[in-house]
Structure 1
Amino acid sequence: MPRVEPTCPQFDYITAKDAYPAMVAGFGSGKTEAAVLRSIMGKLAYPGLNRGFYEPTYDLVRMIAWPRFEEILTRLEIPYKLLKSPLNYISIEGKGNIFFRSMDAPGRIIGYEHADADVDELDTLKDKEAADVWRRILSRNRQKKPDGKPNTIGVTTTPEGFRFVYRTWKESPRPGYRIIQAPTSSNPHLPDGYIDSLRDIYPESLLQAYLEGEFVNLTSGTVYHTFSRELNNTDITEQRGEHLHIGMDFNVQNMSAVIHVIRDGDPVAVGEITGVLDTPAMIELIKDRYAGHKISVYPDASGGSRKTVDASTSDLALLKQAGFAVEVDRSNPSVRDRVTAMCSAFCNAKGERRYRVNVRRCPIYAACLEQQAYDKHGAPDKTQGLDHAPDAGGYFIAKRYPINKPKAGMKRIRGLA
């Protein structure tokens, strides 16, 4: 069998004897690779017993877990058979099965059992959901081992603030719960420039988590903490006939729109329309104020089914009927991704400020960016009316300037053929 040469944190995790080791790691540190290796090595150690492998969604099982298992099993020259939906397991010849499950439907974590398990990206789940999933996986982890050793569950994750993994493994760890830290820099197989590329797209506050694998407060202070009224300000205005890009948030009797131009590839907010009754009224205001301009609207995706006016036509359909180009996906990006895209555009870790706001012409937008805070649940507060304009601007930024995490490339297994 070929030799495996993991990084030091990977080796510590793969060989950990603790009941519940957690590899808390930065992007590109090889945590999923370590999870797969730990799963395979653990499976080989206990022929005939089952093992579980969990991802946040079925898409990640299909796109991440299965290809990684197939590649590694092939390189290790281990015969296997992958049985996809609806069975969802890998059968290793003479060694037993590895079951694959998603964590987005905890109620389906029933009807099977295993001796050990591996959980990838547990911290992407909200606190309550993560705790529920963890209890359910623990209940499945009950096949008795012939050598009497305890059942184990390994976790690999990027830290997402002070969530379930922090509380369980760091704040109040019980016996058997151990953290293995893995910074991005621990992986020598990353492509050149990978770490610098992360600094280009993430604000400094996130890099302790996403580069170092540290637990940091991602929900303290104001939501758009990188915005500066002085440093992000500009006197740029739209020019005659210029293409306008309008982010739009749908709210009955309180619709908001933030008007942008793009200069040298960068976004500039040059106007705002707030407190509008409904979509027909918003359309009328835009047509009146910006006659002669090409208009692209980047709305809240829920407008495909919602109606701000009592009529049979959806908000998105009304925008299209008005002659506007509508740029929207089937669903909105996650709130975290939208906020991160905004904060990075206002100022990334290199101090670059790409997103500028004409504060004089966008007074409400600027005030909301300065003042919106997080609520007690760690979500942007929506009780003070400060969310509408930033949401509108955020739909445009998240669509045109999304956070596209650079691919680290797959860490290869080296050794004798």
Structure 2
Amino acid sequence: MPRVEPSKPQFDYLVAEDQFPAMVAGFGAGKTEAAVLRSIFGKLKYPGLNRGFYCPTYDLVRMIAFPRFEEALTKLGIQYRLYKSPLNYLEIPGYGKIFFRSMDTPSRIIGYEHADADVDELDTLKADDAAEVWRRILSRNRQKKPDGKPNTVGTTTTPEGFRFVYRTWRQHPQPGYRIIQAPTHSNPHLPDGYIESLRDIYPEQQLRAYLRGEFVNLASGTVYHTFSREMNHTDAVEKRGEHLHVGMDFNIENMSAVVHVIRDGLPLAVGELTGVLDTPAMIDLIKERYADHKISVYPDASGGSRKTVDASTNDLALLKKAGFKVVADKSNPAVRDRILSMCGMFCNANGDRRYLVNTTRCPEYTTGLEQMAYNRHGAPDKTKGTDHVTDAGGYFITKMFPVVKPKKPQMKRVVGLV
């Protein structure tokens, strides 16, 4: 078998004999590779017994888990047969099966059993959902081992605030629960500039989690905590004929839009439209106020099916019919991604403030950015009415200035054990 070279956290996780080890890692620390190799080596150790491998969604099983297992097994010189949907298992001849399952529908974690399991990115689930998934995985983990050792479940995840992994492994750990911390810099195979590029796009609070692998509060205080009325202010206004970029949120009798220009490659919010009755009224207002401008609209993607005025024409179709360029995906980005994009643009870990707002011309947008808070469930509080205009700005920012993690290198050598 080829020699494999782990980082120290990877090695500690691969050889951990604890019943429930958790590798809590920063971006690029090699947690998924460690999970794949722990699964393979564990499978070889117990021929004839099954193993489970869990990802947050089936798309991640298909796009991440399947290719990673195929690559690792090929480099290790291990023969295998992979059965994709609907069977979703990998068989190593003479050694048994590895079942692949998603965690987005816990009720489907039934009808099979294994001796050990590996769970990737458990903390991306809401705490209650993660707890339910964990209970169901443990209930599947019941094949008896010939050496009498306990059934194990390993977890690899990026910390997402004080969620299930924090509560279970750090706050109230039971015997057998062990945390192995893996900061990004522990991976010697990262390309030059990877860590610096993360600093460019993430605010400091997120970097403590995503770079150092620390548990930090990502859902307290104000949502847009990096925004400053003073330091993110600009006196800029649109110039005659300038291309305008309008983020838009659809709500019957309370539509909102934030008007931007892009100068030197960076966005400036120069106006807002709030409390508008419906989409036709918004179109008329934009045409009246910005008659001499090219207009691109970045709307709430749900407008493809929503009608704010009647049942005959959806909102996106109305915008296109008005002559506006509509820039929208089939679905909205995750709320978490939109918040990260906004916070990173308002101020990244290097102190760069790349998104400025004319707070005089955008008073409600400014108030929303200052006051939007999290509710007790850790989600943005939508009961105060400040979310419509901030959502509008966020659709534009997330589309044009998304948080895109730098690509990690392909696995040039299998990291792990000899």
Category of TM-score, reference length = shorter chain: over 0.9
Aligned twin of 2:115: 115
Aligned twin of 1:83: 83
Structure 2 residue matching 1:271: 3-state secondary structure = strand
Q: C-alpha offsets along residues 85-112 of structure 1, whole Å, 9 cap, x if unaligned? A: 1111111121111010111121211111
Letter in 2 for 1:273: L
Letter in 2 for 1:413: V
Structure 2 residue matching 1:392: 3-state secondary structure = helix
Aligned twin of 1:94: 94
Aligned twin of 1:49: 49
Q: Contact 2:20–2:176 (CA<8 Å) still a contact in 1?
A: yes
Q: C-alpha offsets along residues 5-53 of structure 1, whole Å, 9 cap, x if unaligned? A: 1111111111111111000000000000100010001000000000000
Distance change >3 Å, CA 364–CA 92, structure 1 → 2 = same
Aligned twin of 2:178: 178
Offset at 1:307?
1.2
Aligned partners of 2:306, 2:173: CA distance in 1, in Å? 45
Distance change >3 Å, CA 181–CA 416, structure 1 → 2 = closer
Aligned partners of 1:86, 1:318: CA distance in 2, in Å? 41
Q: Contact 2:34–2:416 (CA<8 Å) still a contact in 1?
A: no
Alignment pair present for 1:273 and 2:273: yes
Aligned partners of 1:372, 1:88: CA distance in 2, in Å? 42
Aligned partners of 2:27, 2:352: CA distance in 1, in Å? 21
Structure 1 residue matching 2:181: 3-state secondary structure = strand
Letter in 2 for 1:404: V
Alignment pair present for 1:343 and 2:343: yes
Aligned twin of 1:413: 414
Distance change >3 Å, CA 177–CA 287, structure 1 → 2 = same
Aligned partners of 1:216, 1:353: CA distance in 2, in Å? 22
Distance change >3 Å, CA 397–CA 414, structure 1 → 2 = closer
Offset at 1:416?
12
Aligned twin of 2:253: 253
Q: Contact 1:2–1:414 (CA<8 Å) still a contact in 2?
A: no
Aligned partners of 1:177, 1:320: CA distance in 2, in Å? 55
Alignment pair present for 1:264 and 2:264: yes
Offset at 1:311?
3.0
1:10-409 to structure 2, matched below 5 A, reads 10-409=10-409
RMSD: 1.3
Aligned partners of 2:341, 2:416: CA distance in 1, in Å? 40
Show structure 1 runs of 5+ residues with no match. none
Aligned partners of 1:416, 1:187: CA distance in 2, in Å? 15
Q: C-alpha offsets along residues 272-327 of structure 1, whole Å, 9 cap, x if unaligned? A: 00011111111110011000211100000111111112332111111111111110
Letter in 1 for 2:163: R
Aligned partners of 1:188, 1:134: CA distance in 2, in Å? 32
Distance change >3 Å, CA 414–CA 395, structure 1 → 2 = closer
Structure 1 residue matching 2:283: 3-state secondary structure = helix
Letter in 2 for 1:139: S
Q: Contact 1:2–1:416 (CA<8 Å) still a contact in 2?
A: no
Letter in 1 for 2:278: D
Aligned partners of 1:5, 1:280: CA distance in 2, in Å? 62
Letter in 2 for 1:153: V
Structure 1 residue matching 2:273: 3-state secondary structure = strand
Aligned partners of 2:89, 2:409: CA distance in 1, in Å? 25
| Fraction of identical pairs, as percent | 77
Offset at 1:410?
3.2
Aligned partners of 2:416, 2:234: CA distance in 1, in Å? 57
Aligned partners of 1:103, 1:409: CA distance in 2, in Å? 27
Aligned partners of 1:288, 1:416: CA distance in 2, in Å? 67
Could you state the TM-score of these two structures normalised by the residue count of structure 2?
A: 0.98
Structure 1 residue matching 2:239: 3-state secondary structure = coil
Distance change >3 Å, CA 415–CA 46, structure 1 → 2 = closer
Offset at 1:415?
10
